[in-house]
Amino acid sequence: MANDEVHGGTVQCKDARDLIYVTRGGAGRVLSLGGLQRMGWALRRAPDARQVMKLLQSRPGHPYAALLDLREGFSEHDLAEFGDALSAGNIGWVAGVDAGQLSDEPVRRLIRDYCYDYVTLPCPEGVLNTVIGHAHGMARLGSGRVDRVSSAGSDDMIGDSPAMQALNRTLRKAALTEAPVFIAGETGTGKELAAMAVHRHSHRHAHPFVAINCGAIPHELVQSELFGYERGAFTGAQQRKLGRFEMANGGTLFLDEIGDLPLESQASLLRFLQQGSFERLGGHEQIRVDVRIISATHHDLEHAVDEGRFRADLYHRLCVLRLQQPPLRDRGADIDKLADHALKRYSDEGQHALKGFAPCARQALHSHPWPGNVRELINRVRQAVVMAEGRLITAEDLHIDGPASRPPPTLEDIRDAATRCAIEQALQRNRGRLIDTARELAISRVTLYRLMGRHGLRESESDGNDRSVRIF
Ligand SMILES: Nc1ncnc2c1ncn2[C@@H]1O[C@H](COP(=O)(O)OP(=O)(O)OP(=O)(O)O)[C@@H](O)[C@H]1O
Ligand SMILES: [Mg+2]
């Protein structure tokens, strides 16, 4: 890209950019586009899909902008023939229409599913230059994407957004130490992958990585799963069984959903972290193992400590180094890379070959809030691979409503969310004490109380004289 400049989302090349003008219009309906040529566009005309494909085949992978002049001459059947050309990843399509055509459903569908934008023709060449410039820029980005996906990274953790770069840096530093690591983050953000990466980069990598999901094991069995038992320790204990601590000797023990660890096991874990040893159930011998602990949860562990469900002393022992997994919605272009990766991985499961994502799907991927994060993204793409009927996955195949049906947040929405977040965090820091929280936020206690009511941060109405509240 050394020869390029970026202006407001349009990659502007000092070399000529290629524009395909697809038209069947008769005299008077064909745009001359001489101005665009003077602006640096190398113009080629194509009357049909066959010509477009020929152009593409002559320079595989080369990016083009294409203006599809729909004003006359294309039947629905003709348009269907454009399937391959419209699906080609290295063309940025712009539709040119008469204003009246926008109520025509096949035209609307074609624009929505395959085009970066549309213009009503005729329009000033300056406008066309901007719009096709954007489409060309997107085509160029699209043609580079494939390579980056194939070099997915040694940890199978796809993504190089600033948030993921920061995580990777912290993760590698953590791997060089022996300190316990705590990984926080919403469900499906890749906490387990991160734990494995810490292990893989540590000097323990040749030893076992043992994971246990503390939330998936019945409470009465957690202790024996973790620490093992001696023969005869309880009815049915016919022989000695090693626990996960011993299995992980020399390596790493990953305690997933640590917030669900019963209090009894919390005490045993704390003892292990203090002494480096434990007893098997029914045994008296102190067993010493060399294990590094990584823990994770998608719950708010600080909240569990405040509520007395999790021991504060254990919390401080586990959270020596803290990794925060960024939510998928904060990872920008990583969303595309993850989607491409999932498509590649599951493409065999579909009935026919898929070429990628339609522009409407790309837009939907970026407008969806992803409450289930990477796991949800992978599942949606996998399902879309099976369900898609066209050559490109559409927003509909992903079962995501387009941005049109969900209005973007207003300034008031954004302000409300920021206010709620600031109050919540200040309350946490001040352990729910209203006077201290109000002082920190430089507002009166009455104002704080009113805002808490407005943002659903207090349980019930009272006179505002409480000295503290339960944060929920
Ligand atoms: N950066 C990534 N690159 C590729 N795949 C990822 C990435 N992050 C997560 N995944 C995949 O997403 C799925 C969920 O990841 P993982 O189980 O590590 O999430 P989690 O945070 O532990 O979720 P939970 O809180 O529900 O246990 C897995 O299939 C994982 O391989
Ligand atoms: Mg997990």
What is the structure's pLDDT at 14?
A: 44
Closest ligand, as measured to the CA of 346: 1
Q: Which of 324, 353, 373 is the last residue of a domain?
A: 324
Closest CA to ligand 1's atom 10: 190
Question: What is the residue-wise DSSP string for 83-111?
Answer: HHHHH-TTEEEEEEE-GGGGG-HHHHHHH
Q: Is 348 exposed, middle or buried (0-12, 13-18, 19+ CB in 10 A)?
A: exposed
Closest ligand, as measured to the CA of 196: 1
Kindly state whether residue 254 falls inside one of the protein's structural domains. Answer: yes
Kindly state whether residue 395 falls inside one of the protein's structural domains. Answer: yes
Which residue did the predictor score with more confidence, 156 or 1? Answer: 156
Please tell me whether residues 171 and 55 are part of one structural domain: no
Q: Does the structure show a pLDDT above 70 at 450?
A: yes
Cβ density class 362-391: b for 16+ within 10 Å, e for less? bbbbebbebebbbebbbebbbebbeebebb
Q: In whole numbers, what is the pLDDT of the chain averaged over residues?
A: 83
Q: Which of 405, 420, 449 is the last residue of a domain?
A: 405
Q: Which of 262, 290, 324 is the last residue of a domain?
A: 324
Please tell me whether residues 125 and 228 are part of one structural domain: no
What tens digit of pLDDT does each residue of 66-104 get?
Answer: 999 988 767 777 777 776 677 665 788 999 998 888 888
For residue 432, the CA-to-ligand 2 centroid distance in Å is 30
Question: What is the residue-wise DSSP string for 169-190?
Answer: HHHHHHHTS-S-EEEE--TTS-
Please tell me whether residues 311 and 358 are part of one structural domain: no
Kindly state whether residue 415 falls inside one of the protein's structural domains. Answer: yes
Closest CA to ligand 1's atom 5: 157
Q: Does the structure show a pLDDT above 80 at 467?
A: no
Q: Does the structure show a pLDDT above 70 at 43?
A: yes
What is the structure's pLDDT at 89?
A: 58
Say which CATH number the domain at 221 has: 3.40.50.300
What tens digit of pLDDT does each residue of 317-372 get?
Answer: 999 999 999 999 998 999 999 999 999 999 988 888 898 999 889 989 999 999 99
Which residue did the predictor score with more confidence, 468 or 224? Answer: 224
Looking from the CA of residue 195, the nearest atom of ligand 1 is: 18
91 contact partners, CB below 8 Å, separation of at least 6: 20, 52, 56, 63, 64, 65, 66, 85, 139
Q: Give the residue numbers spanning the domain of 381.
A: 328-405
Kindly state whether residue 65 falls inside one of the protein's structural domains. Answer: yes
What is the structure's pLDDT at 377?
A: 97
Looking from the CA of residue 334, the nearest atom of ligand 1 is: 1
Smallest CA-to-CA distance from 295 within 185, 217, 169 is with 185
Smallest CA-to-CA distance from 289 within 303, 300, 279 is with 279
What is the structure's pLDDT at 136?
A: 86
Please tell me whether residues 238 and 200 are part of one structural domain: yes
Please tell me whether residues 313 and 167 are part of one structural domain: yes
Looking from the CA of residue 341, the nearest atom of ligand 1 is: 4
What is the structure's pLDDT at 142?
A: 57
For residue 296, the CA-to-ligand 1 centroid distance in Å is 12
Say which CATH number the domain at 401 has: 1.10.8.60
Looking from the CA of residue 187, the nearest atom of ligand 1 is: 25
What tens digit of pLDDT does each residue of 153-209 get?
Answer: 345 799 988 899 999 999 999 999 999 999 999 999 999 999 999 999 999 988 989
Q: How many domains does the chain have?
A: 4
Closest CA to ligand 1's atom 15: 190
Q: Given pLDDT bands bounded at 50, 70 and 90, which one contains residue 232?
A: confident
Residue 284 CB coordination number (10 Å): 7
Kindly state whether residue 156 falls inside one of the protein's structural domains. Answer: no
Please tell me whether residues 211 and 63 are part of one structural domain: no
Closest ligand, as measured to the CA of 183: 1
Say which CATH number the domain at 111 has: 3.40.50.2300
Query: What whole-number percentage of the chain has pLDDT above 90?
Result: 41
For residue 256, the CA-to-ligand 2 centroid distance in Å is 6
What is the structure's pLDDT at 261?
A: 92
Please tell me whether residues 172 and 67 are part of one structural domain: no
For residue 229, the CA-to-ligand 2 centroid distance in Å is 26
What is the structure's pLDDT at 49?
A: 81
What is the structure's pLDDT at 106?
A: 79
Q: What is the rounded distance in angstroms from the CA atom of residue 458 to the CA atom of residue 409? A: 24
Kindly state whether residue 82 falls inside one of the protein's structural domains. Answer: yes
What is the CB < 6 Å shell around ligand 1?
A: 156-159, 185, 187-193, 298, 338, 374-375, 378
For residue 429, the CA-to-ligand 1 centroid distance in Å is 30
Looking from the CA of residue 159, the nearest atom of ligand 1 is: 1
Kindly state whether residue 155 falls inside one of the protein's structural domains. Answer: no
Across 38-47, 123-132, 369-378, 438-447, the highest mean pLDDT is recorded for 369-378
Kindly state whether residue 169 falls inside one of the protein's structural domains. Answer: yes
What is the structure's pLDDT at 425?
A: 80
What is the structure's pLDDT at 462?
A: 40
